[in-house]
Structure 1
Amino acid sequence: MQPAKIQEPDPVWPDPAWPDRAWEVEAVLAWHDDNAKAAIRSLLDDCKHLRQQLALAERAMSRGMTRGWTPRYERDIL
């Protein structure tokens, strides 16, 4: 079984559901008053929180509910 591939937006036909990445970076920096270290710290805290939530959900779900699926805590390297 091959690992799942992360869908990237098609540069010719941009999908409105995929926001512009450059805009996202600027928005994060603006939220933190252009303090890159504070932005990185905040994003790392978000990542830690989401990993904890994923671990909690993994413990709460039964194998039958997910049909054998288990979460991965690391992204696939493309």
Structure 2
Amino acid sequence: MIKKHLIYKTDKYNMLNVEVHGKTIIAREISDQWGEECHTFLSRPELMHWAENRFRPEKFEGREEELEAILQNLRDV
């Protein structure tokens, strides 16, 4: 059984979806700048390590609530 989670979506070209396939977690990041990137993780701690490096606080200055919402959605997967 595949569980899908929408982490964020700003429009149809900028979003992050996470799919849980048993023990495997797949993050599909779609951006208008880079296209689609797919990341595969074998554990939730590995996913959160990637997320904390990918979503750095300095990139979200003035939008700290948005950053916290993204990280919380990932923690809830």
Give TM-score scaled by structure 1 length. Answer: 0.29
More helix by share: 1
Compare CA radii of gyration and give the structure with the larger one. 1
Which structure is higher in RCO with an 8 Å CA cutoff and minimum separation 6? Answer: 1
Give TM-score scaled by structure 2 length. Answer: 0.29
More strand by share: 2
